[in-house]
Amino acid sequence: MRSTIRARAGRILAIVGLIAATLAPATTSVHAADGDLILKVGTDQEFSGLNPWQSVYVLDYEVFTLNYDLLVGYDKDLNYTEGFATSWTTSDDGKTTTFKIRPGMKWSDGQPATADDVAYTYGFVLDALSKETTLGSGYLDGYVSSAGVKSVKAVDPETVEITTETPTPLLLAAYVPILPKHVWEKYSLEEIANAEAKGFFANDPPVVGTGPYQAVEYTPGQFMKFQRNPNYWGKQGAADQIIITHFENNDTMTQALKNGELDYARGINADAFDALKGTPDIVPVEGFANGYSYLTFNGYPKAIKDGGSSTRATADPAFRDALAWAIDEQQLVDRVLAGHGTPGTSLLPPFQAKWYVAPDPSVLRQFDIAKADEKLTAAGYVKDASGNRLDKEGKPINLRMTWPASESELATAAQFITEWWGQLGIKVNAGVTEDNTLLVDLTPPEYDPPGKADFDTYMWGWVGDVDPSSLLEPFTTDQIGGSSDTFWSNARFDELFKQQGQTIDETQRKAMLKEMQEIFYKEVPNIPLYYDSELHAYRTDHFGGWQNQPPENGTPLFGFGPIGYTLLTDATAAPSPSASEATAPSAGASATAAPGDSGSPTSGSGTNTGLLLALGAVVLVAIVGTLAVRRRGAKATDEE
């Protein structure tokens, strides 16, 4: 008889059906309630939180410029424009800049936003600097210190004076958010700067700011939700809310964009990016990177016990120059980046259009193995009988080459370079190193605690600000023991670095930066391999008005400041807002959050319900398990 088996199958089907029944209505029951327009953004990066001083990633900078204004903002062409201040004038000696603050400006909570807030924010940084306290992750205070800010004074509610040690172009470039004094002054330096301190001020939502959108909900590791600031002084963006979600898996993010569950995706894989081309309603954007990937030589000038480079050759500019002739940057772009990048030359990327100087064709290195060979021989690196290249001590050159595990594409670059340099009789031992171990290996004896600079060559990347200073600084002598990974030292480069930081006139400054780039190209402390593109994409069916910042080579979002968000328009408004929302199951889902409650975070209730559900599931497992065991046990004893 089969009946019992069938009965069991029936029970199983019933259970499956029950589960299916609870799931079935799901897709249809989620729909917009009051037509709030939500911009949904996906990113590959992780949030560092809402306290701007703790910012590390591009994403964190994006978050704080949505919440707050910089003193001086950037327009879509990356020119300075009004921010917290509307205008600024510099005194005759160039050391005092007077900023005019917008009259009648309000914080998102309705309190007046005045010069006092600027004086508080800059004063807070100066206080931290004078006490040598690391301000959070230590990135933002550097803008104030490198501009040489001495003092800040609120003359009246609409006027603030900032004095610097010398005239400097870096004050306007300071990427420091102006924070509301009435919120932040309640917390001590320690409570703001130190994430581990008792009473740490995480700036939990709702955030009070003057930016176009303020964070109202934040679930660490997952997403952040912003609500439009009704008090914003500038153009109001079309989106009522913005939700930025962190994606662990790049492919899922791309699929979500294709599905209409996202309107914008940042940091798409090259393969997925190419596949997006031609997808209806999706525009892929390839922006220039404000940074580059490089191959660094260990240029440490002295021998290091149990460490340092395996050969003195890496400290010799002639050797490095010769090896740079044996790298085909275009090939690397094509094969490593699938064409999404440009070959490297200068330590300033072409994104820095104002400052980038392409090497003169007369000195530009082409890919030429024979020439590299000649140059090596001419510089005194001869081959032995078996074809091995010898260093000046007569030892065969076996270069170690490594890269951080997080930058997996560099493994491909290493294969090519190994092959090319192999043709010069230089053996390369290439292998990946875990990021943190690599950071330890790179530290020189000047570091505290002293390291051994135990590497020959390695690859990684640098990313810059709008102002070029941060990309130049790691190559100054002062940074050996700091951010320098080449241990290269050049007196003229150092002098020019200092001068350019005190030169307002852009023509003069450009001349200095040109000379710096020339010195760098000639001495080859590192070989810029390529400028990797920023691969983003957006949908045009919910929002219009997407504009790249800067127009020629930028991306609409994740640039500099919130302008890309405020330029957006409602693409659904004109024809029929409900029709487009009904097409995709969840793409059309909009929020029901009342505009009035821009405050209260709602994460608490969500977690609780999730936990309850989980508990329910566990209980269910337990019941089913127990029942199954009972019945089987009972049967077994019955029938045996």
**Which residue's CB is nearer to another protein, number 423 or number 483?**
483
* Contacting residue, 219, 269, 388, 540, with another protein by CB under 8 A: 219
Q: Is residue 279 a contact residue for another protein (CB under 8 A)?
A: no
Contact flags string 442-461 toward another protein, x per CB under 8 A? -x---xx-------------
* Contacting residue, 46, 407, 494, 570, with another protein by CB under 8 A: 46
Dihedrals phi, psi of 389, to nearest 5 degrees = -80, 135
Measured on CA atoms in the order 192, 180, 61, 258, is the torsion positive or negative? Answer: positive
Measure Cα distances from 197 to 191, 202, 205, 511 in Å: 6, 11, 19, 46
Number of shown-chain residues binding another protein (CB under 8 A) = 110
Q: Is residue 408 a contact residue for another protein (CB under 8 A)?
A: no
Q: Tokens 């701007």 map to which residue?
A: 52
Residues 580-619 that bind another protein (CB under 8 A): 584-586, 589-593, 602, 606-607, 609-611, 613-615, 617-618
Omega of the bond leading into 284 within 30 degrees of 0 (cis): no
Q: Is residue 188 a contact residue for another protein (CB under 8 A)?
A: no
Q: Is residue 38 a contact residue for another protein (CB under 8 A)?
A: yes
Cα–Cα distance for residue pair 186/189, rounded to 1 Å: 10
* Contacting residue, 92, 93, 186, 221, with another protein by CB under 8 A: 221
Cα–Cα distance for residue pair 561/74, rounded to 1 Å: 6
User: What is the SS3 assignment for 84?
Assistant: coil
Measured on CA atoms in the order 637, 638, 639, 640, is the torsion positive or negative? Answer: positive
Q: Is residue 196 a contact residue for another protein (CB under 8 A)?
A: yes
Measure Cα distances from 266 to 43, 45, 59, 245, 449 in Å: 5, 9, 10, 10, 37
**Which residue's CB is nearer to another protein, number 311 or number 572?**
572
| Nearest residue to 475 via CA among 493, 462, 454, 450 | 493
* Contacting residue, 10, 15, 412, 429, with another protein by CB under 8 A: 15
Number of alpha helices (DSSP H) and beta strands (DSSP E) in the chain:
20, 21
Min dist CB 92 to another protein, Å, is: 31
Contact flags string 237-256 toward another protein, x per CB under 8 A? ----x-x-x-xxx-xxx-xx
Q: Is residue 364 a contact residue for another protein (CB under 8 A)?
A: no
Amino acid at 587: A
* Options 151-159, 175-183, 197-205, 504-512: segment touching another protein (CB under 8 A): 197-205
By DSSP bridging, strand 80-82 and strand 291-297 are: unpaired
| Nearest residue to 45 via CA among 267, 264, 303 | 267
Min dist CB 484 to another protein, Å, is: 9
* Contacting residue, 202, 338, 379, 432, with another protein by CB under 8 A: 202
Q: Is residue 141 a contact residue for another protein (CB under 8 A)?
A: yes
Min dist CB 88 to another protein, Å, is: 24
Min dist CB 109 to another protein, Å, is: 22
Measured on CA atoms in the order 252, 258, 263, 268, is the torsion positive or negative? Answer: positive
Q: Is residue 189 a contact residue for another protein (CB under 8 A)?
A: no
Residues 416-445 that bind another protein (CB under 8 A): 434-437, 439-440, 443
Contact flags string 80-119 toward another protein, x per CB under 8 A? ----------------------------------------
Orientation angle between helical segments 506-523 and 491-500, nearest 10 degrees:
160
Q: Is residue 145 a contact residue for another protein (CB under 8 A)?
A: yes
∠ CA 89-95-101, nearest 5°, is: 35
| Nearest residue to 329 via CA among 387, 244, 416, 223 | 416
Cα–Cα distance for residue pair 400/486, rounded to 1 Å: 15
Min dist CB 283 to another protein, Å, is: 18
Contact in structure between 278 and 466 (CB atoms under 8 Å): no
∠ CA 64-184-230, nearest 5°, is: 55
Neighbours of 386 (CB within 10 A): 7
* Options 81-89, 189-197, 299-307, 507-515: segment touching another protein (CB under 8 A): 189-197
**Which residue's CB is nearer to another protein, number 202 or number 519?**
202
Cα–Cα distance for residue pair 459/404, rounded to 1 Å: 8
Residues 484-543 that bind another protein (CB under 8 A): none
* Contacting residue, 293, 470, 517, 566, with another protein by CB under 8 A: 470
* Options 87-95, 330-338, 377-385, 467-475: segment touching another protein (CB under 8 A): 467-475
Contact flags string 321-360 toward another protein, x per CB under 8 A? ----------------------------------------
* Contacting residue, 43, 54, 210, 296, with another protein by CB under 8 A: 54
Q: What is the CA radius of gyration of the chain?
A: 29
